[in-house]
Amino acid sequence: MAETEPVPTSGVTEHTITTLLQKPATEGGLGEGTKVVKFGDDSGGCGQMLNATIVSESFQGKRSLARHKLVNSALKTDIAKIHAWTATCYTPEEWEKKQTASS
């Protein structure tokens, strides 16, 4: 019998986060080009301690705190359902440089 991934008790998943972030800015999101390039659940599958690496053009020209405020605002309903949330935010150019440096 195939193993299935545990359903998080919070109901917050990579899909729900990506969907909220990709909404247009006029609807509280960061835009269609936003990507969640890494997603993790550090809570053992219950969905209470989540982390994500997010890449978006919306971060261009913004410092770290402003980027996090954008993300947290877009995800406010989901963040309220979990215990801990960590976002790492990059512009596409920063993410590309990081990937090149890691190679």
What does the alpha-carbon distance between residue 54 and residue 46 come to, in Å, rounded to a whole number?
22
Structural domains of the chain in order of their starting residue, each with its CATH number: 14-93 (3.30.300.90)
**Strands 84-90 and 49-55, how do they pair?**
parallel
Show the low-confidence residues of the chain (pLDDT under 70). 1-8, 45
Confidence (pLDDT) at 4: 55
**Strands 49-55 and 35-41, how do they pair?**
antiparallel
> CA triplet 101, 102, 103: central angle to 5 degrees?
90
What does the alpha-carbon distance between residue 20 and residue 34 come to, in Å, rounded to a whole number?
10
Output the CA–CA distances (angstroms, integers) from residue 47 to 1, 65, 98, 99, in the order listed.
24, 24, 28, 27
